[in-house]
Structure 1
Amino acid sequence: MPHPGFEHAIEHSFTVQIYYEDTDFSGVVYHANFIKYFERAREQVIGAGFLKQLWQNQGIGFAVYRCDMVCNEGVEFADLVSVRSKVVIESKYRTLWQQEIWRDGGTRPAVSGYIEMVCLNQARQLTPMPTVLMDNLGA
């Protein structure tokens, strides 16, 4: 599921410790938790303080519009994984994120995801992203 535009994007890395509570009965990460790990990594790229300021001062936030995810390998309790993220600006309203979860020593991503985010105002209507955010993300 390759998407164009990511070849020149900066890769960001975020480390996640897998806890027992993240797993199912077999000790493998429950699939919905991968979406949480992706979310945490995106927050690290943008900055929690910046996101809070955008909401409180401008009434601007973000929502997942689409998420495609492929689980290639299981990730298990006690693993320490790297969430690798790249972002491209699709329009002034939308970003596309390529995110992968890598196990230490892995030869391919354990999990791959493409997440489309949209910028919304408090009325949940599309609104343009602030220029400073687009600049920070590399647009």
Structure 2
Amino acid sequence: MTESNAAPAGHRISVRVYYEDTDFSGVVYHASYLRFMERGRTELIRALGIEQRELFDGDQALGFAVRRMTIDFVRPAVMDDLLTVETRPTLARGATMELDQRILRGEEVLITAQVKVACVGGGKARRIPDVLRHRLGLEIV
């Protein structure tokens, strides 16, 4: 289950934890959080009216690759938890964008992450399109 809605200064989606997301003890496996955060970044772009498929198609095709991620695993989530993934873009610099992400269970912070993504196309770095940068409310520094 994934639900999406806009939030002030960012974006939020809801994600339910299923059995497939957990390890043998019923706790969310660490790599599952990466998938949840990827969904958050994808839904942020979709909420801005930009379909990722549109970015991938055509002569000017581009995508985003995670370049760096710093994660703090504060508390574990467990099967059946309803989580909120918050995604907030913080900086754009040429071909890279930085975002802060959090995963919460109610008001309890479980995960914090700082993510740097690179805009790529044709095997090399590409400047973030102006339309995306403006919709994100980011200025290039």
Query: Into which bin does the TM-score normalised by the smaller protein fall?
Result: 0.7 to 0.9
- Paired residue type of 2:121: N
Q: Percent identity?
A: 31
- Displacement over 2 Å in runs of 4+: none
8 A contact 1:89–1:134 mirrored in 2? no
Partner of 1:12: 11
Q: 1:70 aligns with which of 69, 72, 79?
A: 72
CA distance in 2, matches of 1:110, 1:63: 24
Structure 2 unaligned blocks of 5 or more: 1-7
Partner of 1:22: 21
Partner of 2:110: 110
Q: CA RMSD for the aligned pairs? A: 1.5
The one-character-per-residue Cα deviations of 1:70-95 (angstroms, maximum 9, x if unpaired) are: 11101000000000111023312111
Partner of 1:6: none
User: What is the TM-score normalised by the length of structure 1?
Assistant: 0.87
Q: What does 1:98-137 correspond to in 2, within 5 Å? A: 98-106=100-108, 109-122=109-122, 124-137=123-136
- Which one has a larger percent strand, Structure 1 or Structure 2? 2
The count of aligned residue pairs is 128
Helix, strand or coil at the partner of 2:20? helix
Report the Cα offset of residue 11 of structure 1: 2.2
Partner of 2:54: 53
The one-character-per-residue Cα deviations of 1:36-78 (angstroms, maximum 9, x if unpaired) are: 1000000000019621111102211110000111111010000
State the structure with bigger RCO (CA 8 A, min sep 6), 1 or 2: 1
